[in-house]
């Protein structure tokens, strides 16, 4: 059996990181079993679905590196891959269920259904359809049609337990009597999610449905539909929801929630895939830095967690920083450039630009951090705003260091690691100033900060003239 899985987003907005995690797990599953990964666009929500959202989702999946074997832009034997182009298939299957007696026409108006619901609540019964149209005769149906009523099609739910054997959550039993007859075709001829998804999964020969645990309640309805239509039921795997660190379902109040936002904020796709995968399962080794190849190799339904995962931005930032520092210097410079350009930090010398990026690499966690740390190399005037920094600059010992350092740099033709170390050793020997008291004033004078890149890298990148200018600016007259 060839494993066939699908990711089926609704194009109603940006790709949420929770949905991205679902896509990642489906993709890893397909690649692990050398199966087929399908992208299907569920765009039957006409009012909310837009071509722009579909294109955005496709671009975000491509940025993550999740390639699909069948779907929009690729094609495939089981297309089309947009639900809006498959309505005739749903209508045909609904007709088959009507002919077999597994479905029936329901003529109840919205007002009648609402009245039923309110009555059930008054009687403290679960609200749901009563089934009053289940056994209408053809004559009764024609009379209702004559009144101008346009029927929906409802599925006749068998009154027996439905057992879901979930690969993650285990066995779950749903009592058939608690599942009321549900609509599979609206008055307009379109089909709701549960029916359309089942028809698509059946006709596309999906073997495994991997999705969020919020879909568990849909599963018994889908299983009885598979049975009634005569199709093989796929395996189900419901993965836990993603929560914020406060234990509440992840939302905008927790920060970024879409893949596009994380992309723009300077996260790497490999880091995001690594992190989102860890929210679902863990490696037997306990390793947290997992390459795409390892994620594919180690994918296992048995290791997927049952309980909700908490989205820890601090951990994601740590992981992303590791991935950034693992890039080649050339790639780091390429990725950092747009962020520095947008901040107005333009450097036309490729070698100097590469040195700037390389000097701050240990301090960044996202690509968007580069301007904050690299700004020291682009300013002609250093602003020393901290009270402690100002106090250090004013010390007599600091002033002595500045004067001697200026003289030494002026008389040194080439500033490199060796020459700078010799200069600082000489100043230490002549003044008796050492350690933090020797190095910190110089760092503050050149950057305005007490922390940052190695001091020799700062001097090398700034150059002799700018170093002299900045040091002279803090010498008290």
Residues with a known catalytic role: 252
Dihedral over Cα of 361, 366, 368, 373: its sign: negative
Quote the CA–CA distance of 415 and 459 in Å, as a whole number: 8
Q: Taking a C-beta distance cutoff of 8 angstroms, is the pair 33, 4 a contact? A: no
The gap from C-alpha 168 to its chain's centroid, in whole angstroms, comes to 21
The closest of 464, 448, 19, 10 to 260, measured between CA atoms, is: 19
Residues in a beta bridge with 298: none
Q: Taking a C-beta distance cutoff of 8 angstroms, is the pair 37, 5 a contact? A: yes
Quote the CA–CA distance of 384 and 449 in Å, as a whole number: 7
DSSP 155: E
The closest of 32, 44, 33, 35 to 8, measured between CA atoms, is: 44
* 208-212 and 103-106 beta bridge pairing: unpaired
* 183-185 and 208-212 beta bridge pairing: unpaired
CA atoms within 13 A on the CB side of 108: 22
Residue 106, SS3 per DSSP? strand
Length of the chain: 477
The closest of 382, 387, 359 to 457, measured between CA atoms, is: 359
Q: Taking a C-beta distance cutoff of 8 angstroms, is the pair 399, 431 a contact? A: no
Quickly count: other Cβ atoms within 10 Å of residue 358's Cβ: 16
Tell me the CA distances in angstroms from 430 to 397, 456, 468, one per residue in order: 12, 21, 20
Quote the CA–CA distance of 316 and 21 in Å, as a whole number: 14
Given its phi and psi angles, is residue 247 left (phi above 0), alpha (psi -120 to 50 degrees) or beta? left
The closest of 461, 437, 31, 451 to 273, measured between CA atoms, is: 31
- φ/ψ of residue 336, rounded to 5: -75, -30
Dihedral over Cα of 352, 357, 363, 369: its sign: positive
């Amino acid at each position: 059996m060839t494993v066939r899985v699908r990711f089926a987003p609704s194009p109603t907005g940006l790709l949420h990181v929770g949905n991205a995690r679902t896509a990642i797990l489906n993709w890893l599953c397909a690649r692990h079993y050398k199966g087929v990964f399908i992208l299907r666009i569920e765009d039957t929500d006409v009012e909310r679905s837009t071509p722009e959202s579909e294109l955005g989702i496709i671009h975000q999946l491509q940025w993550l590196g999740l390639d699909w074997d069948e779907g929009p832009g690729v094609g495939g034997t089981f297309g089309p891959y947009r639900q809006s182009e498959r309505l005739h298939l749903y209508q045909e299957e609904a007709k088959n269920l009507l002919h077999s007696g597994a479905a029936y026409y329901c003529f109840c108006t919205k007002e009648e259904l609402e009245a039923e619901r309110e009555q059930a609540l008054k009687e403290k019964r679960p609200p749901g359809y009563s089934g009053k149209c289940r056994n209408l005769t053809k004559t009764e149906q024609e009379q209702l049609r004559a009144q101008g009523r346009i029927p929906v099609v409802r599925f006749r739910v068998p009154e027996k337990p439905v057992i879901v054997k979930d690969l993650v959550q285990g066995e779950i039993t749903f009592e058939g009597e608690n599942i009321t007859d549900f609509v599979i075709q609206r008055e307009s001829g379109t089909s709701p999610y549960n029916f359309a998804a089942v028809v698509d999964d059946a006709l596309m020969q999906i073997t495994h449905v991997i999705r969020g645990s919020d879909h568990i309640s849909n599963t018994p309805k889908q299983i009885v539909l598979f049975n009634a239509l005569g199709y093989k039921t796929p395996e189900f795997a419901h993965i836990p929801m993603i929560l914020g660190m406060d234990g509440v379902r992840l939302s905008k109040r927790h920060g970024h929630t879409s893949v596009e936002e994380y992309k723009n904020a300077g996260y790497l796709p490999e880091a995001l895939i690594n992190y989102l995968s860890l929210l679902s399962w863990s490696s037997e080794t306990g390793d947290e830095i997992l390459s795409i190849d390892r994620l594919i190799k180690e994918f296992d339904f048995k290791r997927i967690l049952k309980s909700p995962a908490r989205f820890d931005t601090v951990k994601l930032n740590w992981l992303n920083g590791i991935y950034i520092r693992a890039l080649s210097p050339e790639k780091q410079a390429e990725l950092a450039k747009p962020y520095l350009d947008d901040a107005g930090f333009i450097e036309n010398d490729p070698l100097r630009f590469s040195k700037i990026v390389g000097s701050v690499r240990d301090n960044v966690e996202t690509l968007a951090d580069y301007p904050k740390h690299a700004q020291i190399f682009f300013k002609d005037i250093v602003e020393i705003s901290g009270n402690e920094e100002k106090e250090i600059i004013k010390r007599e010992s600091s002033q002595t260091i500045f004067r001697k350092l200026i003289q030494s740099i002026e008389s040194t033709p080439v500033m490199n690691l060796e020459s700078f170390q010799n200069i600082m050793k000489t100043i230490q020997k002549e003044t008796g100033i050492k350690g933090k008291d020797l190095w910190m004033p110089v760092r503050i004078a050149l950057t305005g900060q007490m922390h940052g890149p190695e001091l020799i890298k700062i001097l090398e990148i700034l150059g002799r003239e700018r170093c002299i200018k900045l040091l002279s600016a803090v010498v008290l007259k």
